[in-house]
Amino acid sequence: MGGLLADAATTRVPLPPPDAKVVTTACEYCPVACGYKAFTWPVGTEGGPAAEANALGTDFPTAPLSGRWPSPNMHTVVTIDGRLHHVLVLPDPDATVVNVGGNHSVRGGTLALTLYRPDGPTHDRLQRLLLRVNGTLQPIPWDAAIEIVASMIRHVIDDHGELGMGFKHFSYEFFENTYAITKFAYGALGTANVAPHHNTAHGTDTPGLDDT
């Protein structure tokens, strides 16, 4: 394997071997939550083009609309437990609702590229909690951060009431986060000041939806 970054423009994509770990999950971008399958397997192993030799269970080249072609942009390499692993995030060809047959938007089709890798465009991702103290960002542990935020929320509610709290959040902060933030704001705190951003990724095959 050459430079990892160069692989983004390759003419080859590695296939997951039959024993690759597979997780069925949802897209992190929009509230439609299309189905995806995430395959991980150690660098150095690779599946073959015959159906029985890869975890996709299909012969290569795959047929049109098979939903089983991993494009190079659906693949990346990350470190898991100290070892390099291939990651393939494939629109789920077995999905029976929403993205039936593995249809996908360009956002969902490039989910693998959002993963952290020190040699790629995500190298500058925030990896730990930082608190600005006297103008300088300093690392702090989770329990300290939660205590600071909880104290701030308690102060606002005690002095200004529930409506003193407002939330701005984005559905592409993951499906689970969106659910938790919404429950927290409306249910636990009881504020009406919530500004979500839930813009669905309209595919070109859904004309007119943006007018609704």
Partner 1 sequence: MNERLQRPSLHEQNSGSGSVGRRAFLAGLSAGAGSVAVGVYMRVAVLDDDSGVPQAPAGAPVLPAVATAHPGLRVTSLAELAVGDVVDFQFPTTESPASLFRLGRSAAGGVGPDRDVVAFATDCTHMGCPLRGQFQREHAVLGPCPCHFTTFDLTHRGMVVLGQATENLPQIILRLDGDDIIATGTLGLLYGFRHNLEDAPIVEGL
- The residues pairing with 39 across neighbouring beta strands, listed in sequence order, are 22, 88
Q: Per CB under 8 A, which region of 130-138, 145-153, 173-181, 197-205 contacts partner 1?
A: 197-205
| In the complex, minimum distance from the CB of residue 198 to partner 1, in angstroms, rounded to a whole number | 20
Based on the shown chain and the rule CB under 8 A, indicate whether residue 49 belongs to the binding site for partner 1: yes
Rounded to 5 degrees, φ, ψ at 37 are -115, 125
For residues 35 and 26, the answer to whether their CB atoms sit within 8 Å is: yes
Which of 36, 87, 88, 103 contacts partner 1 by CB under 8 A? 103
Rg (CA), the chain: 21
| Whole-number Å distance between alpha carbons of 41 and 82 | 13
Based on the shown chain and the rule CB under 8 A, indicate whether residue 15 belongs to the binding site for partner 1: yes
| Whole-number Å distance between alpha carbons of 117 and 53 | 28
Q: Per CB under 8 A, which region of 19-27, 96-104, 148-156, 175-183 contacts partner 1?
A: 96-104
Based on the shown chain and the rule CB under 8 A, indicate whether residue 40 belongs to the binding site for partner 1: no
Q: Which residues bind partner 1 (CB under 8 A)?
A: 5-6, 8-15, 49, 60-67, 69, 71-74, 102-106, 109-110, 203-205
